[in-house]
Amino acid sequence: MSTTTAVPAPRTDAAPSAATRTVRYALHTTGMTLTNVMFTVFTIALPVGMYLLFGMMFGQEGGGAARGMIMVNMAAYGGLGAAVTAGTQIQEDQRNGFLRQLIVAGLSPASFLAGSVMAASAVIGPALLAVTLVGVATGVEAGPAELLATLVVLWLGLLPTILVGIALGMLLKGGAAMAGGVITMMAMAIFGGLWMPLEAFPEWMQSFGRWMPTYWISRLGAWALQDGELPAVGLLVIAAWTLVLGVLCAVGLRRAVGLRRR
In a domain, 192, yes or no: yes
Do 143 and 227 form a contact (C-beta atoms < 8 A)? no
Q: What is the pLDDT of residue 174?
A: 74
Do 83 and 161 form a contact (C-beta atoms < 8 A)? yes
Do 91 and 170 form a contact (C-beta atoms < 8 A)? yes
Q: What is the C-alpha separation between 181 and 166, in angstroms, rounded?
A: 10
Q: What is the C-alpha separation between 138 and 54, in angstroms, rounded?
A: 12
Q: What is the pLDDT of residue 125?
A: 92
Q: What is the C-alpha separation between 135 and 242, in angstroms, rounded?
A: 29
Q: What is the pLDDT of residue 90?
A: 79
Q: What is the C-alpha separation between 40 and 212, in angstroms, rounded?
A: 25
Per-residue pLDDT of the chain (262 residues; tens, 9 = 90+): 444 455 555 555 566 777 888 888 888 888 878 788 888 888 899 999 999 999 999 888 888 789 999 999 999 999 999 999 888 877 777 777 777 777 777 777 788 888 889 999 999 999 999 999 999 999 898 899 999 999 999 999 999 999 999 999 888 877 788 889 899 999 999 999 999 888 889 999 999 999 999 999 999 999 999 888 899 999 999 999 999 999 998 888 777 666 544 4
Q: What is the C-alpha separation between 100 and 98, in angstroms, rounded?
A: 5
Helix (H) / strand (E) element for 34: namely helix 18-34
Cα angle 237-238-244, degrees, rounded to a multiple of 5 = 90
In a domain, 12, yes or no: no
In a domain, 204, yes or no: yes
In a domain, 132, yes or no: yes
Phi first, then psi: what are they for 257, rounded to 5°? -100, 5
- Can you tell me whether residue 2 is helix, strand or coil? coil
Q: What is the pLDDT of residue 208?
A: 94
In a domain, 169, yes or no: yes
What do you get for the CA distance between the two ends of the chain, in Å? 57
Sequence length of the chain is: 262
pTM equals: 0.85
Residue 174 DSSP one-character state: T
Q: What is the pLDDT of residue 13?
A: 59
Give the number of other Cβ atoms within 10 Å of residue 216's Cβ: 25
Q: What is the pLDDT of residue 6?
A: 52
- Can you tell me whether residue 72 is helix, strand or coil? helix
* Residue-number span of the structural domain to which 23 is assigned: 18-258
Q: What is the C-alpha separation between 103 and 98, in angstroms, rounded?
A: 9
Q: What is the pLDDT of residue 256?
A: 67
State how many domains the chain has. Answer: 1
Q: What burial letters (b/e) apply to 220-256, b meaning 16+ CB within 10 Å? A: bbbbbbeeeeebeebeebbeebbeebbebbeebbbeb
